[in-house]
Structure 1
């Protein structure tokens, strides 16, 4: 891992092409320390480019091993830059369609708000639940992440995340505003299904953009 992302000549060519040559100067840190240090030095845009480059380098390594395809550092760097450009353009077009920005809303003074989300990996049948609890001033009281195995659907992933959020609220002694009628429960289920469809649409759009970028790179 350390050799692939730091010492490999092709990788070093990638970092130089992306103007990240300073991040390979210090060889005294181990891989985890190095990743942490690099992200502390970069601004958000640079961090995005850096992480995308890591992904591209890993993908190139897989193609080299499994398909026998070899790329040089400049080609990987160009792919990374083009991918970020495409992704940024897609996000700008998407943002232009949003009439009103959705922001996190503070709960009432006496309430604690628990936000949750679930991510699903269909190929591995696993999911992740992410949960954050904040008070009325927006201060984070609790954050939680858990990986679940043997999950059969994206809907199940969202439902598990919802259940974990409720469980955390109960464990902390917070009085919860929960569905009280059949209609309320149906509303919760429909809300989870809508979240699932939105995520599915985003994944499909990003996958399409990724394929378009790969096709352009081939030509």
Structure 2
């Protein structure tokens, strides 16, 4: 509720600053609780301002550029069917993994999604298995239809049959 109020009362720039300061306060609070590292209020504000400045510098898109169309390989499902795609990824510098699941209808509208960041499991195969498990869990939670039909298109799973 308070977040919506802030969004309604602040302009876009100040709302972004508000979000970043809120996140920075949470981050530094966790550092204090988990690692006993304390910070001065001005350090937190300086960090938030630098973060916002960096974000603004890299997120500005020149107006004269037009988006380049990219061919898509996604094929829509039949009418009344929900298609669920999933993937897992590893981030080498941080030694973390992420999984994402998206469910779309025949028009391409997103009807459900999941995105999670995890501690790095043992292998890329396990990351894909976790993503597949989350895709099945999403389908069961939302119970898309009376029957569940699935096709694995992950090369890692195909090799292990």
TM-score scaled to structure 1, two decimals? Answer: 0.43
Task: Return closer, same or farther for 1:63/1:186 CA change in 2, 3 Å cut-off.
Answer: closer
Q: Tell whether 2:133 aligns with 1:163.
A: yes
Task: Indicate which of 85, 91, 99 corresponds to 1:115.
Answer: 85
Structure 2 partner of 1:57: 25
SS at 2:102 equivalent: strand
In 1: Cα distance, 2:90 partner to 2:10 partner:
29
TM-score scaled to structure 2, two decimals? Answer: 0.53
* Higher-strand-fraction structure: 2
- How many residues align? The count is 145
Task: Return closer, same or farther for 1:153/1:76 CA change in 2, 3 Å cut-off.
Answer: same
**Unpaired stretches in structure 1, ≥5 consecutive residues:** 1-32, 190-219
Task: Return closer, same or farther for 1:160/1:40 CA change in 2, 3 Å cut-off.
Answer: farther
Q: Tell whether 2:64 aligns with 1:90.
A: no
* Higher-helix-fraction structure: 1
Root mean square deviation of aligned Cα:
4.8
CA contact (8 A) 1:131 1:145 kept: yes
List per-residue Cα deviations over 1:62-105 (Å, max 9, x = no partner).
67783454233xx5434322212212333458xx9x95568895
CA contact (8 A) 1:117 1:161 kept: yes
Structure 2 partner of 1:152: 121
In 2: Cα distance, 1:161 partner to 1:117 partner:
6
SS at 1:83 equivalent: helix
